[in-house]
Amino acid sequence: MKKKKIPLRKCIACAQGKTKKELIRVVRNNEQEVVVDPTGKTNGRGAYICSNIECIEIAQKGNKLSRALEVEVSNNIYEDLKNMVKS
């Protein structure tokens, strides 16, 4: 029997390929709002980031989420991500 291929997603900070369950998805929806997507099913342009503080800080310093989502990302989103990782 053939193994099912699991697609990998790339972290925008460290560029490592990981499964969806290992990453946090951030989405820009049609109203140009940026939200953290815990379900992974929200419509819109998405970007993935590792669930560790180091990658979140790299993304914040390099403004990588703004570049990936093609919209300005506030510091509140980065704080939400850090709080998700800590809890």
Question: Per-residue pLDDT tens for 20-59?
Answer: 999 999 999 999 999 999 999 999 999 999 999 999 999 9
Helix (H) or strand (E) holding 65: helix 64-69
Closest CA to 24 of 42, 56, 50: 50
All domains in the chain, ordered by first residue: 11-86 (3.30.1230.10)
Summarize the confidence of residues 3-28 as an average pLDDT.
94
Taking the C-alpha atoms of residue 52 and residue 49, their distance in angstroms, rounded to an integer, is 8
Which pLDDT does position 3 carry in this prediction?
Answer: 86
pTM value is: 0.90
